[in-house]
Amino acid sequence: MAETKLTPQEQAATDIGAYRYGFHDDLEPVFRTRKGLDEDVVREISAHKNEPEWMTEFRLKSYRHFVKRELPRWGADLSVIDFDNIYYYLKPVEQQAKSWDDLPDGMRETWDRLGIPEAEKKRLLAGVGAQYESEVVYHNLEKELKERGVLFLDMDSGLREHEDIVRRYFGTIIPYNDNKFAALNSAVWSGGSFIYVPPGVKVDLPLQAYFRINAENMGQFERTLIIVDRDAYVHYVEGCTAPIYSTDSLHSAVVEIHVAEGGRCRYTTIQNWSTNVYNLVTKRAVAERNATMEWVDGNLGSQITMKYPAVLLKGEGAHGEVLSIAFAGRGQHQDAGGKITHMAPNTTSVITSKSISKDGGRSSYRGLLQVNDGAVDSRSKVVCDALILDADSRTDTYPYIDIKENAVDIGHEATVSKIGEEQLFYLMSRGLSEEEASAMVVSGFIEPITKELPLEYAVELNRLIQLQMEGSVG
Amino acid sequence: MADLKIRDLHASIDGAEILKGLDLELSKGQVHAIMGPNGSGKSTLAHVLMGHPAYEVTGGSVEFEGNDLLEMEADERSRAGVFLAFQYPSAIPGVTVANFLRTAVNAHRRGDDGSANPISVREFRAQLQEAMEGLKIERAMTSRYLNDGFSGGEKKRMEMLQMAMLTPRLAILDETDSGLDIDALRIVADGVNRQRSADLGVLVITHYSRLLRYIKPDVVHVLVDGRIVRTGGPEVADELERDGYARYGVEEEATV
């Protein structure tokens, strides 16, 4: 309202106040590598984890590639990242806890504030993993699923206990030299999830992992590998937050997923990093014959996000979906989208992207749709809609399409809309405040995504959007 | 004492003055019609009374129940009992009718200090069902997105449903040029007639006299070039239907 117009300083304070997870714990890590990165630091991480020789070699090879690989010259400006001012490995506690109560007090409180133990207690989840800095500090999986052969471990335990499976898949879907940040993750990875779902097993409730950065100048490099065997199903959900610091932190994950014949995997992310985190993530899945892979990717936080979940439709009849939503507020650049490669006949895909820009934020849809020679009768639909809330904000669309086969059906639609004065007036004339009215238009805009989320995540996403909208209208 | 008092109202949009000293008084329990030729300022009046930000009020006053409406934002006016039935309501994709109505009802139930007093799910459902039955609206409508892909008639019904749920004390119906669809007129008329009471004042803004066959006005005003040039009983509408606006210096029919 006109009489409560805020100065830019007050506005910034309001925005920070709206981020509820900006607090941090004062905990001394039990071990950490020195700031910066070289071969010794890579060796130290591997040695500390008692890894097999092949993994140490893989890390070193990756590190060497990281050093010589250039930063991407497209997307966001990453030249501001100071790789020497980051801690690459930070171990918060000596041992993974089997009970939340076994965690140090401050850390336990943090998880409570994030609501993770409560969600687990309410049995909304079949399994929970909680990563704090570089290590997964708590992990649990329902007994019944364990008995049916489902594996849900942190990646380090996965490597120790199931080296054969890990060695077979690790780095095969996203090779160490895929891009600079995949190389970095391959060199210094720690934590993340390892999941195996045996043939025919359907995991009804989601498995959830939560990633928390606590320390300043932290680099978090979790590594996730999910294998869904024939006709099996799993829904994996991840969330993440970090404290607000004046210096930058780096989050660079790699997620590889293999969905075998007839299997289905849904991977849902609600990314809500604080706005001093660079979020540069590589996610890719392979879908075999008649398999389905679905990425539901929500990006609300971070300073810069570059993330394009990908599906390689390798087997005939495979189906891939990317539902992407990005919210770019003050000082944020969300460069998000999806990549689909049709490699076999009769494969189908849908990419739906929704972005919202406000207060000078910038969102970009960047997508690749590729149809290989021989992938006949493939069908794909790409829809990207952008909503701009004010004149200072920006949105761009970069749809790359590469079709090498004629007998295909491809659709692409893009719209950009501004939040309409008429829509706001209409809702306000029914008694809604300006903030309520804007939040309602925005929540309607992202409804195609929220309706795909489990109820509690849909509620959370809408709540986050409402917080983002607070103080956003003058 | 009249409940709505408009005195010497001047308003412009994009620098062009549209209302040029409009006076009008209306008491609750009455239905007033404002008729006027195209471009006389009818739609502007509706938007100015509801507080559309694109219109600038450059002079005069508007009071409702002793409150200065011009000091209030649109949402405050709504909570003060003012309702505008839009001629062209906006669509809000992704927001269901039920969700929207509940939010609006709760906004009206908020205390003056902003304290929430949300309606119970049960009570809301009961109210909604009663209002929908009265307006012959199918239940399935509540899970559709607000005005998204609605037909003209459905939009009118939706406006009347909102009016029934929000129980305003001043209802402004902007029917400036919707004279083409007789069904739509009937829907609006039925909705208004069902709610006519001693506690509701109605201002019907229309180009054509036809709507007034369904909503009988107590008073008819003629608006020409931003001013009320004549005020009288229902016979004024009949006169306009017969003679058009010619006697006001405008060559235009007031009938279909």
- Interface membership of B78 toward A (CB under 8 Å): yes
Predicted TM-score of the model (pTM): 0.82
pLDDT value, residue B67: 95
Amino acid at A390: D
Residue B24 scores a pLDDT above 80: yes
Q: Which two tokens stand for residue B140?
A: 């399935």
Nearest CA in chain A to B161: A430
Phi/psi for A270 (5° steps) reads: -115, 95
One-character DSSP codes across A201-251: -B--SPEEEEEE--STTBEE--EEEEEE-TT-EEEEEEEEE----SS-EEE
- Interface membership of A5 toward B (CB under 8 Å): no
Q: List CB contacts (< 8 A) between A441 and chain B.
A: 92, 95
List strands edge to edge, sheet with B227-232: B82-85, B170-175, B201-206, B31-35, B219-224, B227-232
Bridge partners, residue A322, by sequence: A295, A351
Domain boundary among A179, A198, A225: A225
| Angle at CA of residue B13, ends B9 and B15, nearest 5° | 100
Average pLDDT over residues A245-264: 96
pLDDT value, residue B185: 79
Residue A15 scores a pLDDT above 60: no
Round the average pLDDT of chain A to a whole number and report it.
91
Q: Which two tokens stand for residue A464?
A: 């986050």
Residue B176 scores a pLDDT above 80: no
Q: List CB contacts (< 8 A) between A425 and chain B.
A: 50, 52-53, 74, 90
User: Could you tell me which of A148, A125, A147 has the C-alpha nearest to residue A138?
Assistant: A125
Instruction: Answer whether residue A263 is part of any domain.
Output: no
pLDDT value, residue A20: 81
Instruction: Answer whether residue A351 is part of any domain.
Output: no
pLDDT value, residue A246: 87
User: Could you tell me which of A468, A348, A328, A352 has the C-alpha nearest to residue A415?
Assistant: A352
Residue B105, CA distances (Å) to A102, B101, B144, B161, B162 in order:
47, 6, 18, 12, 9
Instruction: Answer whether residue A150 is part of any domain.
Output: yes
Q: List CB contacts (< 8 A) between B104 and chain A.
A: 427, 430-432
Give the pLDDT band (50/70/90) at residue B186.
Answer: confident
pLDDT value, residue B68: 97
Instruction: Answer whether residue A269 is part of any domain.
Output: no
- Interface membership of B194 toward A (CB under 8 Å): no
Residue B198 scores a pLDDT above 90: yes
Instruction: Answer whether residue A112 is part of any domain.
Output: yes
Q: List CB contacts (< 8 A) between B84 and chain A.
A: 429
Contact B43, B174 (CB under 8 A): yes
Q: Do B51 and A1 touch (CB under 8 A)?
A: no
- For B103, the closest of A1, A432, A446 (CB atoms) is A432
Give the pLDDT band (50/70/90) at residue B83.
Answer: very high
pLDDT value, residue A473: 40
Q: List CB contacts (< 8 A) between A432 and chain B.
A: 75, 103-104, 107
- Interface membership of A453 toward B (CB under 8 Å): no
User: Could you tell me which of A332, A111, A130, A299 has the C-alpha nearest to residue A211?
Assistant: A130
Q: Given 3.30.70.380, 3.30.420.40, 3.30.479.30, 3.40.50.300, which CATH number is that of B4-248?
A: 3.40.50.300
- Interface membership of B86 toward A (CB under 8 Å): yes
What whole-number distance in Å separates Cα of residue A89 and Cα of residue A81? 17
Residue B203 scores a pLDDT above 80: yes
pLDDT value, residue A123: 74
What whole-number distance in Å separates Cα of residue A220 and Cα of residue A210? 12
User: Could you tell me which of A360, A250, A236, A237 has the C-alpha nearest to residue A305?
Assistant: A250
Residue A386, CA distances (Å) to A284, A367, A394 in order:
24, 14, 9
CA distance A473 to chain B (A): 14
Q: Do A441 and B92 touch (CB under 8 A)?
A: yes
Q: Do A430 and B95 touch (CB under 8 A)?
A: no
pLDDT value, residue A19: 80
Give the pLDDT band (50/70/90) at residue A12.
Answer: very low
pLDDT value, residue A457: 78
Residue B4 scores a pLDDT above 90: yes
**How many domains, chain A?**
2
Instruction: Answer whether residue A436 is part of any domain.
Output: yes
- Between residues A255 and A469, which one has the greater pLDDT? A255
pLDDT value, residue A9: 41
Q: List CB contacts (< 8 A) between A440 and chain B.
A: 92, 95, 100, 103
pLDDT value, residue A17: 47
**In terms of residue numbers, what domain contains A435?**
421-474
pLDDT value, residue A459: 80
Residue A5 scores a pLDDT above 50: no
Instruction: Answer whether residue A185 is part of any domain.
Output: yes
**Which of A240-244, A371-375, B144-148 bottoms out in mean pLDDT, i.e. has the lowest?**
A240-244
**Mutation to test the A interface, candidates B43, B77, B95, B119, most A Cβ within 10 Å:** B95
What whole-number distance in Å separates Cα of residue B90 and Cα of residue B109? 24
Rg, Å, chain A Cα set = 22
Give the pLDDT band (50/70/90) at residue A11.
Answer: very low
CA distance A461 to chain B (A): 15
The 8-class DSSP code of residue A159 comes to H
Q: Which two tokens stand for residue A301?
A: 């936080």
Q: List CB contacts (< 8 A) between B51 and chain A.
A: 428-429
Contact B49, B232 (CB under 8 A): no
- Interface membership of A425 toward B (CB under 8 Å): yes
What whole-number distance in Å separates Cα of residue A374 and Cα of residue A371? 8
Calculate helix-pair angle for A455-469, A434-445, nearest 10 degrees. 140
Give the pLDDT band (50/70/90) at residue A82.
Answer: very high
Which residues lie closer than 8 Å to A364 by C-beta, 6 or more apart?
A75, A333, A334, A335, A336, A337, A355, A395, A396, A397, A398
Which residues lie closer than 8 Å to B253 by C-beta, 6 or more apart?
B244, B245
Q: List CB contacts (< 8 A) between A422 and chain B.
A: 90
Amino acid at A308: Y
- Interface membership of A459 toward B (CB under 8 Å): no
Q: Do B75 and A421 touch (CB under 8 A)?
A: no
**Which of A23-27, A155-159, B219-223 bottoms out in mean pLDDT, i.e. has the lowest?**
A23-27
Considering only residues 181 to 220 of chain A, which have any Cβ-Cβ distance to chain B shorter than 8 Å?
A: none
Domain boundary among A225, A254, A283: A225
Residue A58 scores a pLDDT above 90: yes
Best-predicted range by mean pLDDT (A125-129, A281-285, A420-424, B137-141): A281-285
Give the pLDDT band (50/70/90) at residue B178.
Answer: low
- For B75, the closest of A420, A428, A445 (CB atoms) is A428
Q: Do B90 and A428 touch (CB under 8 A)?
A: no
pLDDT value, residue A465: 77
- Interface membership of B51 toward A (CB under 8 Å): yes
Amino acid at A368: L
Q: Do A428 and B73 touch (CB under 8 A)?
A: yes
Residue B190, CA distances (Å) to A3, B184, B186, B194, B196 in order:
40, 10, 6, 6, 10
Instruction: Answer whether residue A460 is part of any domain.
Output: yes
- Interface membership of B248 toward A (CB under 8 Å): no
- Interface membership of A462 toward B (CB under 8 Å): no
| H and E: helices and strands count for chain A | 13, 24
User: Could you tell me which of B45, B31, B49 has the C-alpha nearest to residue B237?
Assistant: B31
| Angle at CA of residue A392, ends A2 and A415, nearest 5° | 110
For A406-440, the pLDDT digits (tens) are: 989 999 888 887 777 899 999 999 999 998 998 89
Q: Do B95 and A444 touch (CB under 8 A)?
A: yes
Bridge partners, residue B92, by sequence: B146
| Domain ranges, ordered by start, for chain B | 4-248
Domain boundary among A175, A197, A225: A225
Average pLDDT over residues B35-64: 95
For B143-162, the pLDDT digits (tens) are: 999 999 998 889 999 999 99
- Interface membership of A446 toward B (CB under 8 Å): yes
SS (H, E, C) chain B: CCCEEEEEEEEEECCEEEEEEEEEEECCCCEEEEECCCCCCHHHHHHHHHCCCCEEEEEEEEEECCEEHHHCCHHHHHHCCEEEECCCCCCEEEEEHHHHHHHHHHHHHCCCCCCCCCCCHHHHHHHHHHHHHHCCCCHHHHHCEECCCCCHHHHHHHHHHHHHHHCCCEEEEEECCCCCCHHHHHHHHHHHHHHCCCCCEEEEEECCCCHHHHCCCCEEEEEECCEEEEEECCHHHHHHHHHCCHHHCCCCCCCC
pLDDT value, residue B183: 77
pLDDT value, residue A458: 82
Amino acid at A175: P
Give the percent of chain A with pLDDT over 90: 76
**Tell me, what's the ipTM?**
0.96
**Which of A200-204, A452-456, B82-86, B194-198 bottoms out in mean pLDDT, i.e. has the lowest?**
A452-456
